[in-house]
Structures are given as structure tokens and as C-alpha cells.
Amino acid sequence: METIRLNDGVEIPVYGFGTFQIPADGSTYKAVREALDLGIRHIDTAVAYFNEEEVGKAIRESGIPREEIFLTSKLWLQDYGYEGAKKGIETSLSRLGLDYMDLYLIHQPYGDVPGAWKAMEEAKAEGKIRSIGVSNMTPKIWKNFVPQFDTLPSVNQMEFNPYCQQKEIRKIMTEAGVQLEGWGPLGQGNKDLIADPVIVKIAEAHGKDVGQIILRFEYQERVIISPKSTNPDRIKSNMDIFNFELSEEEMKQIRALDTGKSCFDHDAPGVAEMLIGAFDVHAND
């Protein structure tokens, strides 16, 4: 699988497998094992997905050398601040049953982000994390927090699909040498996106399905993508995007679909309070 070199020198596979909303009832273990068996080597989880244990077990029992698998997890709001983040990092490592994480992200950018970032920098220096980054940082949030960091994030994981192309933050990140990862690459079930006549026409021209066209567009935009599915056939078909190429005209047509809007406004008042009350990541500690 092709990789991209991050600004800290770490190589990250361009294509991964997401585990958001896959339950920890054996489903996550099964899906991750399927993804790994199909050749995917980048797995994305988070403490707030409540499935780190099954992700770690699938990696450990896959028979694949640990250094060949790129694992991402994320720190939740309850563990922000320096001391909280130190404990959160150890908690994730314990739940995963692994010695290190390849990428660790600030999941939601509110509260004592600088304190958490300092703990993440230290964990990276200690070898517990290979690369550190952020998630859901809009231009406004980026300008508030990133200047307080001693080191730049390696990635910013944002919502990304043809209807939400994040042009403003991508410009800021490109200038800073920070890589974009896209969550919700297939639009989080947006029926309008899946039925968009521009994408449908391009799919017909290439003999591909709409999802494959969307993922290929994102790949050609140099966005790291990690689509999710629990269906083995869908996991396999989502990967079938490397044997064709969209023309520049087709890319322009899809770029023109951008609405400039996200499905979730991270700059809206009250978002931090809502999110911190959304999950208790230590409920079962």
C-alpha cells in the first residue's frame, strides 16, 4: 500500500480502515481481521469508539508483524490537560495491548488542548507514540491552539467528501506542511451525495460504483482515507480504486460539488459542552 511521508518523517498508508460505530461485541475484531487479511495496513480507532480492545486483539492475533501495521487512536476530552493526557495515553496502550501507537490525535479541540499536546509530545519522545496530530480543527480553532504548540501536528483529521472539501483549512495546512486525513469519506450516509448525478455519470463511464469514484477522488486529492464497513464484500470493493484514474476534467467536476459546509459545525457555541457530556470513556474503568 502506498504511503505518504508526514512532516516528522513517519510514513502513513494512504488507505486505511475506520472503526467508528462498530460495536465491541466481536464485530470490531472480525471487521479489522477482514481488513488486515485483505491487505489494509492502517487501522483507525479512538478511546471514544469503545472498541480499542478488539482492535488491539485483531492486530495482535493477525500474524502480521506489528511494524507493518499503522495504528491510529485518539484522546478524548475527559483526558485533556497534561496529567489527564498522560493517563489517557497509558489507558489506550493498555486497552490495545500494544507497546506503541503509530499516530495519536487530539480527538476534539476544546479545553486544555495545549496541556494535552505537551503530554503527547513527551510520549512521542519516549517512543510510546510515533506521530502526533489533531482532529476537527477548523481554521478558527487551528489559529487559537496550534501557535501554542512547540511542534506542529503531523495531521489534521477532518470531515472530507465531495460535498465538504475543507478548502480553507487545507490551504493553511498545506502552507504548514500538515497532512489532511478525511473522516466520513463516503459522506456518512448522505443520500444526496450517493445519488449525485455528476458522480453517477462518472461512475458509469468507468464501470465503477459511486463509492469507488468518491474514494478515488479523495485519493487523487492526496487525502488519507479510512472508509468503514462490517461487510467483507464492501470492505473489498471499497479498496478497488487503484486500477483506474479520474481525468482532470472529472476531478474538476467533482471539486465543483463542494458546498463549503460540514455536517457538524465545530465552531458553533456549546459544542465543547455537548461533546464532553456525550461519552464517559472511563465508565468501565
Which of 172, 77, 64 minimizes the C-alpha distance to 115?
Answer: 77
Q: DSSP states of 170-188 as a string? A: HHHHHHHT-EEEEESTT-T
Q: How far apart are CA 88 and CA 80, in angstroms?
A: 8
Q: How far apart are CA 216 and CA 213, in angstroms?
A: 5
| Residue 49 annotated in active site | yes
Q: How far apart are CA 268 and CA 133, in angstroms?
A: 22
Q: Which residues, including other chains, have CB under 8 Å from residue 20's CB and lie 6 or more apart?
A: 44, 46, 49, 183, 228
Q: Are 156 and 9 a contacting pair, CB within 8 Å?
A: no
The SS3 assignment for 266 reads coil
Residue tagged active-site, from 15, 29, 49, 163:
49
Q: How far apart are CA 208 and CA 223, in angstroms?
A: 20
Active-site annotation, residues: 49
